[in-house]
Amino acid sequence: MHRFACYPSDRRKLPPDLHGAHLVGSDNVALRADITWESGSIRCTPRIPDPIGLSLLWPVPDFGTIQLQTTRVPTRAAPYNLHVELARHQLMRLTVKREEWGLFDYPGMDEIATRVDRCRDLFVLALQNLDAPATAARHADQSLLEGLLAGEEMSRFHASVFLVRRQQSGGFSRPFLGIVLPDGAKSGLLTPQLAEIFDLTCIPFVWRSIQPTEQAPSYNGIDACVKAAAAAGQMIRGGPLLNFGVQSVPDWMYIWEHDFEAIYEAAREHVEHAVRRFSKQISSWIVVSGLQADNVFGFSFEQTMELTRMAATVAKQVAPRAQVLIDLTQPWGEYYARNQQTVPPLLYADMAVQSGINFDGFGLQFIFGLATDGYHVRDPFQVSSLIDKVANLGKALHVTALAAPSQPTNGGAGGASGEWHAPWSDEVQADWLTTVCEIALSKPYVESVCLEPLVDGPGNILTSGGLLRQDLTAKPALAKLSEMRKRLLAGPGK
């Protein structure tokens, strides 16, 4: 058993919100555990005796409410000071990434280095006051704030350096900024204004919509969108072709719920038919999405990998020159703590590479601002670090969905879903999207970023996550993304 003691402050009420809390083990893999609030501390009972870290949504005054985690600690009788352990983990991450990014003594890093030093000095003060836990917590809170601000500033600084390098090497000569059309979108939604801002259009292939009955599939709506995107000179991406979430699986498939061979064959026919029909117009395919995290049929690990291999192989056979992507949803893998039939995202990605599946890159989804596991807000430093980690697998990366809300998603409070610097608004959404876009595009191995959804609406994961309001008027994010794209295309110093 592990216990993490918490101490209230003028701007933080207790108990903390634990509905998104989970434990992490080695390689930050989420673990099953019982987590409860008990007598001023968080009581964690994991199913393994190994050291663990606690991840939870934590309010940091003057920064936001962010999903953070502690260092991994062994079990002991006395409770750990949660504030100190959160600050310790942030300082550790800063030190590791500063070394990895080569930013020690880098020109222009002076102010950020000073903030990192303040973070360290405040953490030392916290350690010196461990016998007075509330005082230690106060110093640790100040250290954590300095650490989060330093991490964000360091991520922006690192991105600015590498964006210039990418501009100098012609890295923005190919389509790199895209938009995901909503399922069933009308072709007229892709206006000339949008076509000027985005050069890549992703058209959903929702199996449930394409083939509502077991008879012949219908691609009428997709045909119109493909023609409109091609006429606008867009690079077109299709997919995901296979997503076994409840919103994507046709009702008639449930008759084969316990017959994997029948499901496999139906999925193979769906992938082959779609890719063959649009092989001349669509040059990039997301063949599977979220297969490791969410499937209504409870596939085993072997079945998950078999479906992934089949989808990638069929797409490559039908369209050898097409780009084939495997999409990772909820890339921090919180879902694994709740459902052991799923597969941790990095394990799934590593197995896809090691088993020789023929595909070209991974897609990553960064959708934040919803009070649900996998969608709690994380800071830009965590996003940057995760992209680097997935890139170590040696495949090209694409951010296939980037989204944040433009208004609070839970009655104005940030506790249940998280918030960044301020309650979500049009302006906060615009700043968030451009910040994460620039960080992602600064990575030489990230080839594209797609924004999702295009339009606000109840059918989206984030109701207010669109770049356009429901009346199709533009939000500030659209103008900021347009400015960013023009700046990147103009070249260094322009």
- 99 plus 40 within the same structural domain: yes
Q: What is the pLDDT of residue 412?
A: 42
Q: Based on the domain organization, do 99 and 205 belong to the same domain? A: no
Tell me the residue ranges of DSSP E strands in 100-199. Answer: 177-180
Q: pLDDT: is 216 or 293 the higher one?
A: 293
Do 185 and 327 lie in one domain? The reply is yes
Domain count, the chain: 2
Answer yes or no: do 149 and 22 share one domain: yes
Which of 44-48, 143-147, 288-292, 426-430 has the lowest average pLDDT?
44-48
Phi/psi for 281 (5° steps) reads -100, -30
pLDDT bin (cut points 50, 70, 90) of residue 10 is: confident
Q: Does the structure show a pLDDT above 70 at 353?
A: yes
> Average pLDDT, stretch 320-348?
95
Tokens 């352990």, residue? Answer: 85
Tokens read off for 319: 């369209």
- Give me the pLDDT at residue 415, please: 52
Residue ending a domain, among 133, 162, 191, is: 162
pLDDT, tens only, 153-195: 999 999 999 999 999 998 898 999 999 998 877 777 888 888 8
Place of tokens 């369209």: 319
Domain co-membership, 204 together with 313: yes
Q: For a pLDDT cut of 90, what percent of the chain falls above it?
A: 83
148 with 227, same domain: the answer is no
- Distance in angstroms (rounded) separating the CA atoms of residues 205 and 217: 11
What is the residue whose two structure tokens read 């249940």? 416
Question: Which of 162, 195, 220 delimits the end of a domain?
Answer: 162
User: Among all chains, which residue has been given the structure tokens 């006395």?
Assistant: 78
Clarify whether residues 205 and 347 are in a common domain.
yes
Domain end (from 162, 182, 209): 162
What would the pLDDT profile of 439-480 be if each residue is shown by its tens digit? 999 999 999 999 999 999 888 889 999 999 999 999 999 999
Q: Kindly report the pTM of this predicted structure.
A: 0.94
The whole domain housing 411 covers 170-490
Is there a single domain that holds both residue 343 and residue 263?
yes
Examine the pLDDT at 414 and tell me if it is beyond 50. Answer: no
Is there a single domain that holds both residue 115 and residue 215?
no
**Per-residue model confidence (pLDDT) at position 410:** 61
Same domain, 108 and 61: yes
Give the model's pLDDT for residue 493: 60
**Region 391-416 average pLDDT:** 83
- What's the CATH number where 186 sits? 3.20.20.80
DSSP state, residue 406 = S
Q: Is the dihedral of CA 167, 168, 171, 172 positive or negative?
A: positive
The band of 411, judged by pLDDT with boundaries at 50, 70 and 90, is very low
Alpha-carbon distance of 348 to 266, in angstroms, equals: 23
Q: What are phi and psi of 160, to 5 degrees?
A: -60, -40
CA gyration radius, the chain: 23
The per-residue pLDDT of the chain, averaged, comes to: 93
Q: Do 380 and 424 fall within a single domain?
A: yes
For 357-384, write each residue's pLDDT tens digit: 999 999 999 999 998 888 999 999 999 9
- Decide: 359 and 324 in contact? Cβ < 8 Å: yes
Please indicate, yes or no, whether residues 341 and 387 belong to a single structural domain of this protein: yes
Sign of the CA dihedral running 28, 32, 33, 36: positive
Q: How far apart are CA 472 and CA 467, in angstroms?
A: 9
